[in-house]
Amino acid sequence: MKESEFRYDYLVIGSGVAGLFFALNMASHGRVAVVTKKERYESNTNYAQGGIAAVTSKEDSFEMHVKDTLEAGAGLCSEEAVRTIIREGPERIAELKELGMKFTEREVPNSNGVRELDLGREGGHSKRRVLHAKDITGREVEQSLLKAVERDSNIHIFENHIAVNLIMSGRLGMDGPNRCLGAHVFNRVSGEVHTFSARIVVLATGGCGKVYLYTTNPDIATGDGIAMAYRAGARVANMEFIQFHPTCLYHPKAKSFLISEAVRGEGGVLKSIDGREFMDAYHPMKSLAPRDIAARAIDNEMKRSGAEHVLLDITHRPAPFLIERFPNIYKTCLFYGIDMTKEPIPVVPAAHYQCGGVVIDMNGRTDLDGLYAIGEVAYTGLHGANRLASNSLLEALVCSKRAAADVASNQLEPVEKPLPAWQSGNATNPDEMVVVSHNWDEIRRTMWDYVGIVRTNKRLRRAQKRIENLLEEIHEYYWDFKITSDLLELRNIATVADLIIKCASSRKESRGLNYNLDYPEAMPELSKQPTVIRRGELTAR
Ligand code: FAD
Ligand code: SIN
């Protein structure tokens, strides 16, 4: 074996909730490598605030959670996915607790100290059903999983390792179906590209918020998994449905800080800058309307008034309650000079979540042998045209478990043949570095301006032209120059931007998160039909 080739049974790309939960479930079956592009905890998971939606109370039922999810999804959910994921949620929550996760509890009123889960409420939920750890649920989930992974000697984490491309048997001219055999992985510290080979490769790379100028997502969210799977020939679906979270903190110095929807769940009210409540004009659930509606309403109010933000007011709740329930949001706002107990919080919508992704079946299998996808990178059909709040951590847990069970019962044989080493150009040129950062900005701004909350055919066409030029330019120097993580991510955000525009342009209706002024109505005959795209072809609707 060459020095730079690593052999494992399972290669997991990504160390958020999906990747770590899968790794923990597979470690008793073989050796697991988890490659992750920065520090092990750095992931969307780590920043999740609101919590995990699951049916755990007597006042709630699977049927009600299913109904809320289908309604938010605006006719485009797969009912099979919705029912399966919701039904299996409580068991996964129990496993998470066994691994050490502590959810916030409260004392049952008049019970002499009996405690129960403190359930939060968020947009589109008809019941309180969101399990949370105050307002830092994601950090607690991530830490519980990491601690368990670190206790397991069969799991090896490679930090600062960014997967570049999947290694496919078809490309190597091998006989049989096109199978994923591993990945080329760039070590950001040493600058080497290693070859990882495995029986099974799992994409758990999360979402693509960084494709947009303003996002709640951390820097890792550049859609790498989508881009890699698409390049390898897998089907990708519903990329037009990018969810914009209605309430990201508006402050010149705050980079992407979310104000959880749970704040509205506890009574927070959206107001215009002159203090007028406006959500009753848009939805009967007012400030707790589903996200697509709330984000669009805010966008509309801002455009109408010319204001740069709206306000989220929860000053009517007692200060001790707010400080106890939202310690992180309170502390962070205070750091930026805003005391949420005394004044409304300035907020704006920002790109938050990708409802589409790599097409998988209910066991996490993609179209390509040996390649699985789980978590935000994957498309199961759960979210349809708009995700119900706090359903994504739930989906990641359930689908990781199902994928692990499937892999354990269908072991593919290891490929003994050594895999080829990475070949690339060696040139470095400071001018090219400027081009890379310029192109990053151009893509993100183009997507924000032309492919945002409200779309038109003309804007989509403009965006398409610009992204096509950029893709061509990136392709030209990609193979000549020495790779850097910025260049790898640039190539991926360009690919994902292209997919979002193609999917949005092909959906000739407004539904859920895809709102196009040229087709303001939903078309009944298009319901339940995802947009599916494969390299070189828009395959279905
Ligand atoms: P992530 O947690 O994003 O993990 C992806 C991992 O892949 C990271 O480790 C990353 O470094 C790695 N990676 C990516 N590309 C590569 C590559 N090329 N090579 C190597 N590694 C790579 N959902 C809820 O259900 N409830 C909430 O309360 C909630 N709050 C949220 C708040 C915020 C601010 C954000 C941003 C999201 C929130 N979400 C919430 C969404 C939810 O957090 C994510 O959908 C979920 O955590 C995704 O988990 P994941 O494991 O699929 O991906
Ligand atoms: C939030 O806390 O508002 C985020 C919840 C989610 O994205 O599901």
Q: Stretch 472-494: mean pLDDT, rounded? A: 89
For a pLDDT cut of 70, what percent of the chain falls above it?
A: 97
Query: Phi/psi of residue 490, each to 5°?
Result: -60, -45
pLDDT of residue 4: 65
pLDDT of residue 2: 46
Q: Hey, is 23 helix, strand or coil? A: helix
| C-alpha to C-alpha distance for 395 and 326, rounded to whole angstroms | 24
Residue 538 in this model has a pLDDT that exceeds 70? no
Which of 12, 43, 291 for mutating ligand 1's site (highest number of atoms within 8 Å of CB)? 43
pLDDT of residue 412: 84
Give residue-wise pLDDT tens across range 491-519.
Answer: 999 999 999 999 999 999 999 999 999 99
Q: Which atom of ligand 1 is nearest to the CA of 44?
A: 3
pLDDT of residue 433: 78
Residue 1 in this model has a pLDDT that exceeds 70? no
Q: Which of 3-7, 97-101, 108-112, 190-194 is the least confident region?
A: 3-7
| C-alpha to C-alpha distance for 455 and 514, rounded to whole angstroms | 8
| C-alpha to C-alpha distance for 16 and 21, rounded to whole angstroms | 8
> Any residues with Cβ below 6 Å from ligand 1, and which?
13-19, 35-38, 42-45, 47-52, 137-138, 162-163, 204-206, 216-217, 220, 224, 258, 353, 375-377, 390-393, 396
| C-alpha to C-alpha distance for 242 and 453, rounded to whole angstroms | 9
Residue 476 in this model has a pLDDT that exceeds 50? yes
| C-alpha to C-alpha distance for 292 and 122, rounded to whole angstroms | 13
| C-alpha to C-alpha distance for 493 and 457, rounded to whole angstroms | 22
Which residues in 40-150 belong to E strands, given as ranges? 52-53, 105-107, 115-117, 130-131
Q: Which two tokens stand for residue 507?
A: 């959906």
> What residues are paired with 157 via a beta bridge?
34
| C-alpha to C-alpha distance for 253 and 226, rounded to whole angstroms | 31
Residue 472 in this model has a pLDDT that exceeds 60? yes
Query: Which of 291, 296, 402, 459 does the annotation list as catalytic?
Result: 291
Q: Which helix (H) or strand (E) holds 435?
A: helix 430-450
pLDDT of residue 441: 96
Task: Tell the residue nearest (CA) to atom 8 of ligand 2.
Answer: 390
Task: Tell the residue nearest (CA) to atom 12 of ligand 1.
Answer: 14
Q: Which domains does the chain have, with CATH numbers?
A: 5-240+355-409 (3.50.50.60), 242-352 (3.90.700.10)
- The residue among 464, 489, 463, 256 whose CA lies nearest residue 351 is 256
Residue 261 in this model has a pLDDT that exceeds 90? yes
Q: Which atom of ligand 1 is nearest to the CA of 17?
A: 51
pLDDT of residue 430: 60
- Going from the Cα of 15 to the center of ligand 1, the distance in angstroms, rounded, reads 9
Q: Which two tokens stand for residue 261?
A: 């929807």
Q: Which of 61-65, 192-196, 297-301, 412-416 is the least confident region?
A: 412-416
From the centroid of its chain, how far is CA 376?
4
291 catalytic residue (yes or no): yes
Residue 389 in this model has a pLDDT that exceeds 70? yes
Q: Is the dihedral of CA 186, 190, 196, 202 positive or negative?
A: negative
Give residue-wise pLDDT tens across range 424-464.
Answer: 766 666 667 788 899 999 999 999 999 999 999 999 999 99
DSSP assignment letter at 179: B
Residue 536 in this model has a pLDDT that exceeds 90? no
Give residue-wise pLDDT tens across range 296-334.
Answer: 999 999 999 999 999 999 999 999 999 999 999 999 999
Which of 215, 257, 258, 314 for mutating ligand 2's site (highest number of atoms within 8 Å of CB)? 258
Query: Phi/psi of residue 121, each to 5°?
Result: -125, 145
